[in-house]
Amino acid sequence: MLYNLGRRGIEADLLPRLRGQGVPVMAYSPIEQARLLGHPALAAVAARHGVDEAAVALAWVLRGPGVIAIPKAGTAEHVLANRAALEVRLDDADLAALDAAFPPPRGPVPLEML
């Protein structure tokens, strides 16, 4: 499913339902084809953690149970950069800043696709 900071529609009803049933979610385009990169809120969180913005965006997708991601990795360096997301622990302040910049849905949203 398309799931990232900018496309959070599945959080309103689908993601909780799938988690409740123990069904994992595979998130594609967790960095929104790099369109999320350069956002000031994402850059600020990345700077606090000493990682790049992509690692924060990927860590955000992976923060909860039952979600896996399929980020692009065209080189060995890119694989290592993606792996850095596993070390990022987003705290409440980080999550609040990201929620303010990329608000969660207020209700059900049609399933999006790229």
What mean pLDDT is reported for the chain?
Answer: 95
- What is the value of pTM for the model shown? 0.94
111 Cβ contact list (under 8 Å, min separation 6): 1, 2, 9, 10, 14
Give pLDDT tens digits for 5-36.
999 999 999 999 999 999 999 999 999 999 99
Task: Flag the least confident range among 21-30, 57-66, 70-79.
Answer: 70-79
Per cent of the chain over pLDDT 90 is 94
CA-wise closest residue to 51 among 76, 79, 87, 95:
87
Which H or E run includes 67?
A: strand 67-70
DSSP summary character for residue 70: E
Report the amino acid identity of residue 84. A
